[in-house]
């Protein structure tokens, strides 16, 4: 399991988790917000992530953290 806490979000993923490759997103208080598909660059189950979160995920992917 991996976890990154940044800019009021907590991103969590599990090694060997089911496809598609995704992260679970929580707010700073630990409330579940949604899941984000890292390959298709979209929210799952119709969830539309905030732009701030999208920029954060892009930065973390460029750094090789996700």
- pLDDT one-digit tens code per residue, 13-65: 998 888 889 999 999 999 999 999 999 999 999 999 999 999 999 999 999 99
What does the pLDDT read at residue 32? 98
Is residue 23 a contact partner of residue 34, using CB atoms and an 8 Å limit? Answer: no
Residue 53: count of CB within 10 angstroms of its CB: 19
**Non-local CB neighbours of 34 within 8 Å, separated by 6+ positions:** 25, 43, 44, 45, 47, 49
What does the pLDDT read at residue 4? 96
Domain count, the chain: 1
Burial 21-36 (b: 16+ CB within 10 A, else e): ebbbbbeeeeeebbbb
For residue 21, give its domain range.
2-62
What does the pLDDT read at residue 17? 82
Q: Is 25 helix (H, G, I), strand (E, B) or coil?
A: strand
**pTM higher than 0.85, yes or no?**
yes
């Amino acid at each position: 399991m991996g976890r990154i806490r940044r800019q009021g979000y907590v991103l969590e993923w599990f090694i060997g988790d089911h496809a598609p490759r995704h992260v679970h997103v929580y707010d700073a208080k630990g409330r579940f917000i949604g899941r984000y598909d890292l390959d298709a660059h979209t929210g799952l189950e119709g969830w539309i992530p905030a732009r701030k979160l999208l920029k954060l995920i892009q930065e973390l992917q460029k750094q090789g953290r996700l």
